[in-house]
Amino acid sequence: AQSVTQPDIHITVSEGASLELRCNYSYGATPYLFWYVQSPGQGLQLLLKYFSGDTLVQGIKGFEAEFKRSQSSFNLRKPSVHWSDAAEYFCAVGSPWGGQNFVFGPGTRLSVLP
Amino acid sequence: NAGVTQTPKFRVLKTGQSMTLLCAQDMNHEYMYWYRQDPGMGLRLIHYSVGEGTTAKGEVPDGYNVSRLKKQNFLLGLESAAPSQTSVYFCASIGMRGAGSNQPQHFGDGTRLSIL
């Protein structure tokens, strides 16, 4: 069965610093991979997705992620964090149409220091 | 704006009471989902539907029932609420054809449910 791990429960960075959020997955086939962001009291907003092709994916709000098949990873990066990036970030893997074959990670909470 | 709408946004129930959460989408999406979100556990799938009149169990279906009588609506019911069902519930939808076939799920803003 597929699974997603996000090793960091909580990360704190200073505004302007670079950011990398880790995501590792277990999936039996070529995965669809997603990163979502959730601001407090809000639903989930898609940052970026990987279906196939170029393994470096650009998303909204200046985020990017790199798919590394050999490491079963899909880490999210941003070169310079803004205070408004403070939120919870979820990695997800699987087919969006697959019912139980779409799994979310536990999430990483990002705090940003002024 | 078009999207996924959940009602109500907040609700407090007593143990044993029943209630129904409504999810409505106006994007003509075939697939709809109900998730619950609990701290440190991400989102877990409760039930889902691949089309009008069909439903299927997800990862944590016990204590919940669902119905999809109309394509645009997906109802989540709690017949006898328990404190363990205190959570934030999210509905999502996704299309299968045309522009929706390569898109991720669209999420509602959530329903915060407390069971006392």
Contact (CB, 8 A) for A2 and A103: yes
Closest CA to B2 of B100, B113, B111: B100
Inform me whether the pLDDT recorded for A52 exceeds 90: no
pLDDT at B99: 41
Q: Please tell me the distance in Å from B55's CA to the nearest CA on chain A.
A: 10
pLDDT at A89: 97
- pLDDT interval class at A113 (50, 70, 90): very high
Closest CA to B30 of B109, B103, B90: B103
Contact B104 A43 (CB under 8 A): no
**Out of A11-20, A44-53, A58-67, which region has the weakest mean confidence (pLDDT)?**
A44-53
Contact (CB, 8 A) for A78 and A99: no
A interface with B, Cβ–Cβ < 8 A, is 4, 9, 34, 41-46, 49, 51, 90, 96-97, 99-100, 102, 104-107
Mutate to test the interface with A, among B25, B37, B103 (most CBs of A within 10 A): B37
Taking only the tens place, the pLDDT of each residue in A55-107 is 999 999 999 999 999 999 999 999 999 999 999 999 998 876 666 677 899 99
Among B residues 75-104, those touching chain A with beta carbons less than 8 Å apart:
90, 92, 94, 96, 102-104
Name the DSSP letter for residue A32.
P
Contact B41 A106 (CB under 8 A): yes
- Cα atoms found within 13 Å of the Cα of residue B12, Cβ hemisphere only: 1
Spans in chain B with pLDDT lower than 70 = 1-2, 96-103
Contact (CB, 8 A) for B19 and B81: yes
Q: Both tokens of residue B11?
A: 């609700």
Contact (CB, 8 A) for A6 and A91: yes
Over residues A15-19, the mean pLDDT reads 97
- What is the spatial distance between Cα A4 and Cα A91, in angstroms, rounded to a whole number? 7
Rg of chain A's alpha carbons, rounded to an integer?
Answer: 13
| Parallel, antiparallel or unpaired: strands A108-113 and A10-14 | parallel
Q: Is B115 left (phi over 0), alpha (psi -120 to 50) or beta?
A: beta
pLDDT at A53: 85
Q: Which residues pair with A90 in a beta bridge?
A: A36
- Phi and psi for A12 in degrees, rounded to 5? -120, 130
Q: B34 in contact with A at a CB cutoff of 8 Å? A: no
Residues of A with CB below 8 A from B56's CB? 99
Contact A43 B110 (CB under 8 A): yes
pLDDT at A23: 97
Inform me whether the pLDDT recorded for A40 exceeds 70: yes
